[in-house]
Every structure is written in C-alpha cells, then in structure tokens.
Structure 1
Amino acid sequence: MSTTNFSAIADQVKLDILSKTHALENAAKRKEIARNFVSDTITVPTEEMYAYATLATLGDDVYFEPSTAALESHVAQLTGKEAGLFVPSGTASNQIALRTHLKQPPYSVLCDHRSHIHKYEAGGAAFHSGAAVIAVVPSNNHHLTLQDVKDNVILTGNIHFAPTEVVALENTLNGTIIPQDEIVAISEYAHSVGLKTHLDGARIWHVAAETSTPLKELCDPFDSVSLCFSKGLGAPVGSCLVGTKEFIAKARWFRKLFGGGMRQTGILAASAAYALSHNFPQLPRVHALTKRLEAGLEEIGAKILSRAETCMVRLFRLALCDASLNARQIFYDPSTIGVTYDEIAERGEALPESLVLGGSRLVVHIQTSDAAVDDFLATVRQLAKEKKAAGFVKPEGQVNGAVKDVYVRRGKKLAQ
C-alpha cells in the first residue's frame, strides 16, 4: 500500500498555465490576428468580451443554464423560430440538425458540392445519420438554383436510389450570397414534395449586414438553421441551432448522444451575446475593407472574374483539362502578374510586422487592420514590379473561345 501523503499528490497535480508574460503574449496574439488573412475563425476575444463573460450565470446547461437559455431564446426570436439550442461548433450544429430531420434510412441529403456539410465535416452525414450526399455543382458556378435542385433531387421509389429527404443550403458559401428569391423558390419546391430544408448559416450575419435583410426573412424559408458565433462575430466558441420546439427537443437529445452536452456554458453564451451586440455592427466595415483589398489587387493586375460579396476575396482561374477550359474556383490568383502564393507568403512573413497568409484564400474579419490590407497590397505590388523588371509579360490568347494565360520570360513561353 502506498504511503505517499496527500500533499505530495496535490503538488504533483498542480498546474499553472499562465506565464509571467501572459498579458504581453495575449497582446501580441491580438496584434498578430489583425494581420492574419487565413480565416475568420482565428479571431480572439477582446478584454471587454472577457470582462462581460465573467458576469454570466453559473448554471449547468445539461439541466438549465440561465444565460445560455437567454441566448437560445433570443436567437430563436431573431430568426423567427420557436426554439434554439447552443452547441459547441458549426459542424455539431449541422450534423445534429441532419440527424434530427432524418428518421428512417435509406435517404440522401442534397447540397452544393462546395458546402461545409459535404467537404469539411469528416463525412459526418454518412457516419452519424447513414445518409448519402448528393453533391451538386451549380450550373451558374455561383449558387444552387431551383433547376439544379429539380435536376438532382431523388423522389423516385426505385429501390436502387436513396430518396432525398433534406435540401441543405449554405449562405454565405465561400463568401458568396445566395439570392433570397432563389432560396424561397427552392424551399417552396422542397416543401411541396415533402422535403425538409436546412440552412448552414454560419456566416448568415454577413448576408444580413450586406443586404440589410432581417435575420427572420433570411431564415423563414428553412425548417432549421445553424448560426455560428465564432467566425464572423468573433466569439470564442459556439453555434446555435434553431427550429420548432419539437425539433429542438429532439436535437437536444442528439446533442447529448453525440457528446455535446456541456456544463457551465454561461461564460460562452455571454461571449456570444457580447459578439451580437458589439461585433455584428462591425461587419459593414469588414465588407468595405474586403472590397478595397479586391480593388487593390485588380489595380495591380490580378484578374478578378467574381466580385467580393462579403468577407472573402474570390478570384477564378481557367485551367486546361482534357482539351477544354473549365472554371476552377480558387480564392485569389496572382499568376496573372507572374507571382506565386509562396512568394507572397514568404515576403509577407518577412515584413517587420509579419502577414499570415494561407495560400489562395484571403479572408477579412472584424479584427483585420487597415494597415494589414495596405501592407498586403504593397507586398503584391512590389513583387509584380520585380517580376515585370525580370521580363515577365502576359499576353492573352484564345483557347476554345476562352482566355488562356501565357507568360513570356526572356522569349520563352510558359503556359499556365
């Protein structure tokens, strides 16, 4: 039998995660975030958000937590739904929603091929719900249309197919806004043939800010909606799933089943509430800054074929494939000025105050600084100038009726 006294065990258990320079490190991290274009998920709580969060109630959310219940009720009312459920993440919210809608297999979920539900949730629809996914490429290369849905939905009783039971849309998707009249048309059709509709509205806040459309109007066409607090709104954790009282009661059960029941969530709910009050009003500035970033890239010489609509700069590049040119979506393409992503990232990192870049995607968020945008554009402009001085020019040729980019350096043609 061990004779170690308890005080020795307690000494072993002790842990202090705060360094002596903790406050300075946090200040440095906030400064770094202001120059990070990788995603809006990297936003961090401000000191004011922290201070507000410490005032939250101390209930247990598996039973009842007052601050969390107040948040759920507010978001439900804001979106015109009967009830809400606070969950740890957008992925949890989407997957709980699908599992709640889907009753008896076989069945399928129809969505955009680029959607988070399809590409970035680790095959959750198949794992959690046993659902097949019908991933549709929009015919207009922008958003799913009613005709896209009609052309791909499975309504037959043929036993070879998994009938569609849910149509899931995402708004925004990669920063683009689905026209509301298209959403209404898709929803009306889906409901007319007995299907449910779900909205991954992780960034629906951006749609409301850009179009001045009330959240209720944006969410009315859907049976369930997921809204994220930790992306564009800058809260540390959490999403809210909304729907009918019956739907949310069942979703709460699945949240527990999936391991998503949480305890003292008041501090997280308070952070989300702070974000709604103080960070949502910042989104128009985010969109204006994104458009300034896009205009600067265009002025330097980058080819932009799809305008920035909210918080992401989105460019397209024509890729040669099987003797035909097809649009391949990327977020921005510096090859039109002879520059690579790696060159921009390396030059940005080498600045006295580094820029953090993630390759082909540029995301502006509530903590992005004006200076970061200026420094990014100055970096790209300088690289373009150096490439031009080295002999890069860009004539445009036609291939199958579409533009093909060709670079010339010291007389040698390099097809891109």
Structure 2
Amino acid sequence: MSTQVSPAIQDIIDQVKVDPIPKNYAADNAAKRKEITRTFISDTMTVPSEEMLTYATKATLGDDVYFEPTTFALENHIAQLFGKEAALFVGSGTQGNQIAIRTHLKQPPYSLICDKRAHIYKYEAGGPAFNSGAHVVPIVPANQHHITLEEVEENIVLGNDVHMAPTELVSLENTLNGTIFPQDEIIRICDYAHSKGIKTHLDGARIWHVAIETGKSLKELCEPFDSVSVCFSKGLGAPVGSCVIGTKEFVARGRWYRKMWGGGMRQTGFLAAAAAFALSHNFPQLVKAHALANKLEAGLEELGAVILSRAETCMIFYDPAPLGLDFEEIGQRAEALPEPLILGGSRLVVHIQTAEQAIDDFLSLIRQLAEEKRAAGWVPPTANGHAASALKDVYVRRKVQMTK
C-alpha cells in the first residue's frame, strides 16, 4: 500500500506540525523551580519535581472513562485512607466540590450552609447556583475563626414553609485560610445535621496539613462527613488532581456528573501516579513547611508587624502598618531584589518548596524597610496616642474583612 501523499496534503501536514517546547526548556524549568522557592502567593504554585515526573512515566495507559489501573489503585488507596467506601479522581478541587454538592442535592428547592469565606462560596464562580440550582446561606463566624453549631442552628431551614429553601447540605472547610477547624465542633455540627436528615460535606483540600499538625488520622478527621474532597496539587505538589470520597453509591453518581461536565478523562494514569508520588514523598515535607511558617510568623511579630491570622498550618495574614509600611511598597521592593520574592499582599503561604533563605530574605527586607521609614521620620504610634487608636481600628476592619 502506497503511503505517498499529494503536495496539498503534505502542505496541510506541515501546517499542523508544532513544537511548543522551548529549546532551553531545562534551564527554563530550573528557573521556574527556583522562583517557586521564593513565591509566597499560594501553595498552588508548587511544581512537580524531576523525580515525580520520572515516576509518572511508569504509569499504565488505560482510559479512565472505562478503566485505568493506576488511577483505580489510587482511588482505592484514598478511600481506605479516609475510611470511606469509594473515591473518584477528578481534575481539580473546584470540580470535586461541585460534583459533591450536585450529587448530594436531588430536587430543588434546597439550600446549603457554609462559612462566608469558604472556597465553594467565594472562589468557585457561583458553582452551587449554576450547577446545582442551590441557594447558599453563608455564615460569618462570630469568633472570626470557624462557624459553630449554634450558628448553624440559627441559619438552618427545616420544615415545609414554601417561602424557604430547605437546608439539605452543610459544607465545612478544613483548613480555611490555613486555620484548623476544631474537631469537636465538627462532630457537633455533623451530628446535629445528621439528626435532621441533612448531609455534610468537607472541602478538605488542605486536610493533609491538619493531620500533620494535630496527629489525628485522615480517617478520624473525616469520619463525621458524608463526603470529602481532597487535593493533590496544592500542599502536596502534584501537577493536577483531586479526589471526591464517599459511599459507593455516592461516587457512582458523582462519576456520572463528572462525565456530564466534561471531566471524563482518558489516560489519567500519569496524573494519578504523580499524586501517588506526592502522597509518599511530599506529604512528610509538610512538617518542614509548618516549621517555616512558624519562623516567619515569629520574625514578623518580633519586627512589630501585627499578625491577623496565625500560622496554625502553612498560612499567615499580617499587617505591616505599625512599621509605616504598606503591601504595595513591600511587593515592589521584594520584586526588585537580586533574587526576587513574589508576594500577594496580607496573605503569606509557605509550602513544601519554600526555601528557608526566602523566609530570611523576606524578614530582612521588612527590617530594612522599617529602618528606612524611621530614618525618614516615621514615628510609630504610641500605646496612648490617637494614632494608635486609629491604627487599631484599621486592624479590626482588616480582620473583619478577612472573615467576611
């Protein structure tokens, strides 16, 4: 059989050809990995290591819409690890949360309760409303840390009042802004919800941090919930992927929604393998990340910055106003360093690829900027002055904004 093609077809073939990989990709990747060690914006910035990529190439080549062995093995491991019946590999944490919400909610009208700062409410593009037709009831926690059973009771909708959208799901998040949701309060809320026939979901994108910090097993942390979503691509450093966990029936229906929303993938084995590598090799590194976060918090406090939210795990929220500084000038000077630091304002996120030198350089920069301010005539507000009172009001407003 002849394999020769006409000039016209050859021209089309030549048009289709592409090589998007830069010629000096190795150097570019090395530079990116270096940049990530000095990036405090988010742990979503983590990148796969060479070892992870090499391990991933050994994965099987099945089709996950039908059956993919490596992915199936990962899902089974996750289900057992979290003490649930089944798990489903999905492309992102947002997709996992949205699949879980839609799977739990059957026939509207209905509503769900969550923290006003929750990812499902603030950062998933209105997904509960668009994907599930769900009314969201966001709660502002009075303690500025976590919602309580009493607040859930105040906002829950029970009965058949036609003016209301009955509550059918309570969704909690752990961690939220890096803070750990007290397990006893989780149990109280979930027990109450279940007593009213209401399902519970955990956005556990960073639940790995809670296990490392508290010493509680993932099974114990997630036992109160009907479903859980966990992420591999944030604190664990995998390139792509999350899992939704629950009963076999729940996961089977969730798989249907995953397909409906275009999330049915083909050769997912290499992604699942990268996630498995992250579990085995990157999860233990969270201990170091938390230690660096504590060092960063202590250094900022020693310099005189106000800590708005403490380093319970990997995040710190701070205010440099007592030093005469603002986030814009800090960010500009950080970017101008010989080895730039990449910042995102009040929130500082420490991750498994954060370099200790980056912590030291950031604290040195804050110290230098504060000294320059004092040399230029900046006078720190005194404890009894009007300036101190005004500054305290600023702290309160900023902390309330974090909550809201």
- Give the TM-score taking structure 2 as reference length: 0.94
- Higher relative strand content: 1
State yes or no: 1:51 paired with 2:37.
no
* Alignment partner, residue 159 of structure 1: 162
Is the CA contact (8 Å cut-off) linking 1:38 and 1:361 kept in structure 2?
Answer: yes
The yes-or-no answer on 1:273 pairing with 2:273 is: no
Instruction: Confirm whether residue 245 of structure 1 aligns to residue 248 of structure 2.
Output: yes
Residue number in structure 1 paired with 2:371: 385
1:334 and 2:337 aligned:
no
**How much has 1:120 moved relative to structure 2?**
0.3
Q: Contact 1:57–1:266 (CA<8 Å) still a contact in 2?
A: yes
Secondary structure in 1 matching 2:103: helix
- Structure 2 unmatched ranges of 5 or more: 1-5, 394-404
Which structure dedicates a bigger proportion of its chain to helix?
2
Measured against aligned partners, the alpha-carbon deviations of 1:239-292 in whole angstroms (never above 9, x if no partner) come to 000000000000000000111110000000000000000000000110010010
Number of aligned residue pairs: give it: 387
Q: 2: distance between equivalents of 1:287 and 1:404?
A: 33
User: For residues 389 and 197 of structure 2, what CA distance do their matches in structure 1 show?
Assistant: 44
Give me the CA root mean square deviation: 1.6
Q: Assess, with a 3 A threshold, how the Cα gap between structure 1 residues 169 and 269 changes in structure 2: closer, same or farther.
A: same
Q: Does 1:395 align with 2:382?
A: yes
Out of 60, 71, 77, the position equivalent to 1:74 is 77
Mark the runs of 5 or more structure 1 residues left unpaired by the alignment: 314-330, 408-416
> In the TM superposition, what whole-angstrom CA distance separates every residue of 1:177-202 from its partner, at most 9, and x where no partner exists?
00100001100000000000000000
Mapped partners of 1:77, 1:359: distance in 2: 39
Contact kept, 8 Å, 1:76 with 1:84, in 2: the verdict is yes
Q: What is the CA–CA distance in structure 2 between the aligned matches of 1:7 and 1:22, rounded to whole Å?
A: 29
1:88 aligned to 91, 101, 105, which one? 91
Superposed counterparts of 1:207-246, under 5 Å: 207-246=210-249
**Is contact 1:154–1:162 with CA below 8 Å preserved after alignment?**
yes
Offset at residue 406 of structure 1 (A):
7.7
Q: CA deviation at 1:158?
A: 1.1
SS in 1 for 2:102: helix
CA contact (8 A) 1:397 1:404 kept: no
Residue 176 (structure 1) aligned with residue 179 (structure 2): yes
| Residues 1:9 and 2:12 aligned together | yes
- 1:366 equivalent in alignment to 2:369: no
Q: 1:160 is aligned with what amino acid?
A: H
1:264–1:308 Cα change, 3 Å: same
Q: Which residue of 1 aligns with 2:66?
A: 63
Q: Identity of aligned pairs, percent?
A: 67
Counterpart position of 2:402: none
Structure-2 separation of matches of 1:212 and 1:406: 36
CA positional deviation for 1:7: 1.8
Letter in 1 for 2:338: P
- 1-structure distance, mates of 2:162, 2:7: 67
Question: Partner amino acid for 1:381?
Answer: R
**2:100 corresponds to which residue?**
97
- Could you tell me how far 1:305 is from its partner in structure 2? 4.7
Return the alpha-carbon distance in structure 2 between the equivalents of residues 257 and 362 of structure 1. 37
What does 1:234-313 correspond to in 2, within 5 Å? 234-313=237-316
Equivalent-residue separation in structure 2 for 1:108 and 1:25 (angstroms): 47
Question: What's 2:400 paired with?
Answer: none
CA distance, structure 2, for counterparts of residue 16 and residue 70 of structure 1 = 34
> Aligned residue for 1:147?
150
Structure 1 length as normaliser, TM-score?
A: 0.91
Q: Distance in 2 between matches of 1:307 and 1:38?
A: 16
Q: Pick one of 16, 40, 43 that aligns with 1:40.
A: 43
Which deviations, in whole Å up to 9, do the C-alpha atoms of 1:102-155 show, x marking residues without a partner? 001000010000000000000000000000000000121100111111111111
Partner SS state of residue 53, structure 2: helix
Q: Is the 8 A contact 2:309 2:318 kept in 1?
A: no
The answer to whether the 8 A contact 2:308-2:319 is kept is: no
Contact 1:348–1:379, Cα closer than 8 Å, also in 2: yes
Distance (Å, rounded) in 1 between the aligned partners of 2:165 and 2:371: 55
Specify the alignment match of 1:134 in structure 2. 137
- What's 1:376 paired with? 362
Q: Which residue of 2 aligns with 1:347?
A: 333
Q: Relative to 1, partners in 2 of residues 1:196 and 1:398: Cα closer, same or farther, differing over 3 Å?
A: farther
Q: Distance in 2 between matches of 1:306 and 1:257?
A: 39
Q: Judge conservation of contact 2:92–2:241 (CA < 8 Å) in 1.
A: yes
Query: Post-superposition shift, 1:398?
Result: 8.2
SS at match of 1:110: strand
For residue 222 of structure 1, give the secondary structure of its aligned residue in structure 2: coil
Closer, same or farther in 2 for the Cα pair 1:397/1:53, shift >3 Å?
same
CA contact (8 A) 1:237 1:268 kept: yes
**Alpha-carbon distance, 1:308 to partner:** 1.2
The worse-fitting range, judged by mean Cα deviation, of 87-96 and 18-27 is: 18-27
2: CA distance, partners of 1:184 / 1:404:
40
